[in-house]
Amino acid sequence: MLDRYLRPLIDPPLNWLGRALARAGIGANAVTLAGLLLGLGAALAIAWGAPLVGLGLILASRLADGLDGAVARATRLSDLGGFLDIVADFIFYAAVPLGFVLADPGANAVAGAALIASFYVNAATFLGFSILAAKRGLSTEARGRKSWYHAGGLLEGSETIAFFLAFCLWPAAFAPLAWAFAALTLVTAAGRVAQAAAEFGGRD
């Protein structure tokens, strides 16, 4: 929900850094993989009982996630880059809650499983909408130039990171926060289903 409003603020410095990385010969896919490794490192730190270390690694991972697109825009967008970006994002989104489950299975397992399941449902609606949008030649740059149609919703990247940071700051509150996050994620998925019905219903 907030992504479209934050992009005008964060894109200029990201694009400047992206151009600098491109001039240094660093490719967008390398930045994507670095961001994924940082995100997995965050999940491991959380699982080992160091959520504040995890918080720092989450922030570094998301910086890389923004920079890979900036590097691509400074060189060229590619289908492979878009594919790697979305795969890395979904791995990261599952890994962080899993880290909290592993850190305290007794308190966090059910809520963490519900949250990851809600991500699965949301991912299905997100990717399904993107596939049909591509089939019909639809495009949007509301959330920046991307290699695929990026359908928005109630919860997007900004809100997801806000929840992840809240998990790290208040790990004892993971379960209630995760339940709230899961519920809002399912509302987001339902909204995207309604959007797809309005956009694609009755069309060949």
CATH code of the domain containing 128 = 1.20.120.1760
- 130 and 151 in contact (C-beta within 8 Å)? yes
**What is the spatial distance between Cα 13 and Cα 32, in angstroms, rounded to a whole number?**
18
How many CA within 13 A on the CB side of residue 91? 18
User: Which phi-psi region, left, alpha or beta, contains residue 202 (left: φ > 0; alpha: ψ -120 to 50)?
Assistant: left
Secondary structure letter of residue 137 according to DSSP:
T
For the chain, the domain total comes to 1
- Sign of the torsion formed by the C-alpha atoms of 83, 67, 38 and 110: negative
Comparing CA positions, the residue from 140, 153, 14, 155 lying closest to residue 73 is 14
Q: Which pLDDT does position 147 carry in this prediction?
A: 52
Q: Which domain holds residue 75?
A: 3-200
Comparing CA positions, the residue from 42, 130, 20, 25 lying closest to residue 86 is 130
Burial class (CB in 10 A: 0-12, 13-18, 19+), 44: middle
**pTM confidence score:** 0.85
Q: Which pLDDT does position 143 carry in this prediction?
A: 46
Query: What are the 10-residue block averages of pLDDT along the chain, 204 residues in total?
Result: 63 84 91 97 98 98 91 85 91 97 98 97 90 75 51 74 97 98 95 86 62
